[in-house]
Structure 1
Amino acid sequence: MLKTEKEKMLAGELYSGADLQLVGERLRARELCRAIAELSPQAPEAERSDLLKQLFGAATDAYITPPFFCDYGRNIELGKGVYFNFNCVLLDVAKISIGNHVLFGPAVQIYTASHPMDAAERRSGLEFAKPIAIGNDVWLGGGVIVCPGVTIGAGSVIGAGSVVLRDIPAGVFAAGNPCRVIRTL
C-alpha cells in the first residue's frame, strides 16, 4: 500500500507539502494560533486551555505569550511548565519533543522542516523533516534558532541569537553561530 504524504512527512521521507490533507491541517493550526492571539489577557483559563488542547491534541499547562506560530501543533509534545515568550515559531513537520520546565525566549524558532540540497530536487517541491528533542529545564534565549535533527540535553542554556546546528549535551551553556559549548553549568 502506498504511503500518504502525511505518513511520508512523519517518517522523515520526501513528501509534498501541497497535499490537500496537509494544507488543511496547516490552515487549522493557523486558525487556532490566531484564536489564541486574539484571546483577551483576562480570558477565562478554561477558554485558553481548550484552544491549546485543540492545537496540540492534548491537555497542557504550557503558557504561550502570543503571537505564537506552528505548522501543525499536533506534532509538538509538551512537558509540564513550558513557557513561550512572544513571537515563537515551531515548524513541526516532524515531532518536536519538549521536556518539563523549558523556557523559550522571544522570537525562538524551532525548525524540523528542510529541503533537499540538490537544486533540481528542490525544484520538485518535495521536502522532508528531522525531529527535534529539547530536554527538561532547558532555557533558549531570545532569537535562538534550532535546526532540524538537533537534540538539546537537559538543564542546558542556549545563549540569545544562537543558531543550533548540532546536538548540545546536558548541563552546559552554549552560544554562537554556529552554537558551541562555552562551559559546563
Structure 2
Amino acid sequence: MSTGDYFANDPRTNLERMLAGDLYIADDPEIARRQRHAMRLTARYQAAYLEDPAAARPILTELLAFAGEDIDVRPPLYVDYGSNISIGARTFVNYNLTALDVARITIGEDCQIGPNVQLLTPTHPVEPGPRRDKLEAALPSRSATTSGSAAARSSVRA
C-alpha cells in the first residue's frame, strides 16, 4: 500500500494529522521545516545560555509553547518542535533533556527533571506495512518530577 492510500479520504495535511494524534507521514516537508526551525532556536538558546542564562530566556520563550516564570532549562536541550512543550513556573530541567514533542508535552509548575531524561510522545505502528511507509502517531505526555536517565513515553505521568 502506498502512503497516499492511507489518507485517500482524509483532506488534512500531515501536520494537522500529527497534531491530532493520528497517523501521519513523518518526513513531510512542512514538518521537516518546523523541525529545522526548532534546531536553530535550540542552538541559539544553548549558545546564549553559556554566556548569560537570563539573556537566553527570550529564545526559550520563542521556542516553547509556554515558559513559566523562573524556569531553568540547562542545555543541551533536544526537541522536535518546541512549540508543543509547556513548562510551568519555577521548574528546573537539568542537562540533556530530550523532548520529542510530536504531541503536547506539559511539564507542570515546581517540577524537578533530572539529567538525561527523555519525554517521548511518538508512537509507531505495530504492523510492518505502515511502519515501512514511515507513518507514525503521537500521544500527549505530562510530567512532574522525573529522576535522571529516565524515559517517559506517551501519556505517562512521571
TM category, shorter = 0.7 to 0.9
Q: Which amino acid aligns with 2:146?
A: L
Give the drift of 1:40.
4.9
SS of the aligned residue for 1:93 comes to coil
Counterpart of 2:103 in structure 1 is 94
Counterpart of 1:139 in structure 2 is 145
Give the drift of 1:42.
4.2
Q: Which amino acid aligns with 1:83?
A: F
Give 1:105-184 correspondences, 5 Å limit: 105-134=114-143, 138-152=144-158
CA distance in 2, matches of 1:148, 1:95: 10
CA 1:59 to 1:148, structure 2 compared with 1: closer, same or farther past 3 Å? closer
Identity %: 32
CA 1:59 to 1:11, structure 2 compared with 1: closer, same or farther past 3 Å? same
| Equivalent residue pairs, number | 148
Give the drift of 1:122.
0.3
CA distance in 1, matches of 2:148, 2:53: 28
CA 1:118 to 1:86, structure 2 compared with 1: closer, same or farther past 3 Å? same
Give the drift of 1:60.
3.2
* Aligned match for 1:51, one of 49, 59, 70: 59
Counterpart of 2:24 in structure 1 is 15
CA 1:93 to 1:40, structure 2 compared with 1: closer, same or farther past 3 Å? closer
SS of the aligned residue for 2:148 comes to coil
CA distance in 1, matches of 2:148, 2:67: 26
- TM-score with structure 2 setting the length: 0.87
SS of the aligned residue for 2:119 comes to strand
- Which sections of structure 1, spanning at least 5 residues, go unmatched? 153-185
CA distance in 2, matches of 1:86, 1:10: 27
Higher helix share: 2
Deviation string 1:46-89 (CA, Å, 9 cap, x unpaired) is x3121011101445332111101100101011211111111110
CA distance in 1, matches of 2:25, 2:64: 23
SS of the aligned residue for 1:122 comes to helix
Higher strand share: 1
